[in-house]
Amino acid sequence: MSNEDDHPAGIEAISVYVPQNFIEATEVAAANGTDPEKYTRGLGCRRMAIASPGEDAVTYGCEAARLLLERYQSDASAIGLLVVGTESGVDGSKPVAAYLHGMLGLDCRCRVFDTKHACYSATAALRIATDWCRGHDGRRGKALVVATDIARYDLGSPGEPTQGAAAVAMLVGNDAACMQLEHFPEAVYAQEVMDFWRPNYRHTAVVDGKVSLRTYLTALENTWDEYQRSSGLQWHDYEYLLFHVPFPRMAWKAFRLLHERYGNGESPEDAFSRMVEPGLWACRELGNCYSGSLYLCLAALLERVGQRATGARVGLFSYGSGCCAEFFTARIGSSSGIWHDRIGIGNGLRRRRQIDYSTYLEFRQITERMEGNHECQAGLASDADAAVTFCGTREHRRLYRFQAPTAGAESTQRRNSVNAQVANVLR
Ligand code: CAA
């Protein structure tokens, strides 16, 4: 099947919001009485982003989208579709996308909804957005895809060192200067399985670790085989491979499985450094950001290799527990170099701060109290430059306070009126 496409739909721009707080994996190991090497070498975890009590999937998603629209000087009125991929939703009914629609001041004719399938949700969102763009070339012909998540596991559990958080925003359109998606027949693998889930009554995920690793690798094998069969591509056609990264060592396990079967003479370590590492460095700093993990790798790859890699083919493996997985390919666009310093990972990492174990515990406790309480509590000041902070809940309504301009045209007026409402209920 031909790859040529008159409308190279795909990602026009990408931006990452890096949470302001992080903790060292070794500090968590010390508190758990675990050999730190298990976390750093065995799992490949170095640091994890930690959400403060004023932050949630809405504030992170808003930051990523706001930064995207600002950095690329995109017009919010051009957006006709907003899809948010998340498994950290704040309401059983109201989507995160609805909050973002208001905060960003998007057009009332813009369609908005969330997708949910664990870490696969952003890939589902990207697929929907790309297909939608092909049929919408007009004035509101751009789609905004946001992946936003906070990964939380029980204290002292095997998953705890793999926690993390971040949001990735992608502008999708028919002028895919950044990443063009290739249109080979899709390679999807789905199976009902209890490998990782979060019941509605819990703040933290439940995992059957061994089953999750096995299912991830089975899904990879199946989707890889299917994709190579239908596309005719072979190992040497790929410059880069990106995986969903629940913890960095998982990317090695995934790569090794493929390399053993298809790799040429190059050693697996050298091939991994060349093909996978350029996209992996941000995951070592931020931890697992669930739906955004694969796209964090993509953003990290673009930030690292920039224009030097124009035309390079990237293979992407998306995995969502439960499970649904997909393998697909994209090519780095000709103007990816200009995005290089606007993606925001390096800058975000430079301005964040380290927290100690007792602050980490305090953040968790306050967050749980705020999430479980139907009465309003003032949120702690989070990121001083953040546009929006979660303040608590009153009469079953979540309250957000705007601190800095959001992107939309009517945003100043709207911000003032929302802040006045928040001030009233906080009084
Ligand atoms: N020094 C160095 N290495 C050590 C060590 C030490 N002292 N102690 C152990 N290790 C190594 C082990 O040998 C092992 O390496 P290999 O896998 O290469 O053999 C590694 O460290 C991990 O050790 P364990 O297997 O004993 O770890 P565990 O069972 O306690 O926990 C885990 C591992 C199950 C992945 C756990 O971190 C977890 O539950 N994570 C969350 C679930 C997850 O990430 N699943 C991945 C697939 S599902 C998915 O991708 C969706 C998603 O985002 C969650």
Q: What's the gap in Å between 294 CA and the centre of ligand 1? A: 19
Strand, helix or coil at 229? helix
Name the burial class of residue 349, with classes exposed (0-12), middle (13-18) and buried (19+) by CB atoms within 10 angstroms of its CB: middle
| Catalytic entry in 244, 277, 289, 303 | 244
Q: What angle do CA 102, 106, 110 make, to 5 degrees?
A: 110
Nearest-CA residue for atom 16 of ligand 1: 42
CA distance 176 to 421: 40
CA of 339 to the centre of ligand 1 (A): 35
Q: How far apart are CA 49 and CA 52, in angstroms?
A: 10
| Beta-ladder partners of 197 | 206
Give the active site residue among 12, 63, 87, 326. 87
- What is the predicted pLDDT for the residue at 4? 42
Nearest partner of 335 among 6, 89, 11, judged by Cα: 11
C-alpha separations of 68 from 47, 323, 373 in Å: 25, 30, 33
Read off the DSSP letter of residue 201: T
Q: Is 37 in the pocket of ligand 1 (CB under 6 A)?
A: yes
Angle at which helices 96-104 and 57-71 cross, to 10°: 40
Cα(47)–Cα(130) distance, rounded to whole angstroms?
A: 33
248 φ, ψ (degrees, to nearest 5): -55, -35
Is 87 among the catalytic positions?
yes
Taking the C-alpha atoms of residue 49 and residue 268, their distance in angstroms, rounded to an integer, is 30
Residue 319, strand partner residues: 325
Alpha-carbon span 140 to 333, nearest angstrom = 23
Q: What is the DSSP code (8-state) at residue 376?
A: -
* Catalytic one of 110, 119, 133, 324: 119
- Residue 246 Cα: closest atom of ligand 1: 53
Q: What is the pLDDT along the chain (427 residues), one digit of tens a residue?
A: 334 455 578 999 999 999 999 999 999 999 999 999 999 999 999 999 999 999 999 999 999 999 999 988 888 999 999 999 999 999 999 999 999 999 999 999 999 999 999 999 999 999 999 999 988 877 889 999 999 999 999 999 999 999 999 999 999 999 888 899 998 999 999 999 999 999 999 999 999 999 999 999 999 999 999 999 999 999 999 999 999 999 999 999 999 999 999 998 899 999 999 999 999 999 999 999 999 999 999 999 999 987 788 899 999 999 999 999 999 999 998 766 566 678 999 999 999 999 999 999 999 999 988 887 666 665 555 566 678 999 888 888 999 988 755 554 445 555 555 555 555 444 4
Ligand 1 close to Cβ of residue 40 (< 6 A): no
- From CA 91, how far away is CA 282, in angstroms rounded? 29
Q: Distance from the CA of 316 to the center of ligand 1, in angstroms? A: 22
In the chain, the N- to C-terminal Cα span, in Å, equals 63
Determine the residue of 157, 162, 193, 324 to mutate for testing ligand 1's pocket, defined as the one with the most ligand atoms within 8 A of the Cβ atom. Answer: 162
Atom index in ligand 1 nearest the CA of residue 288 equals: 53
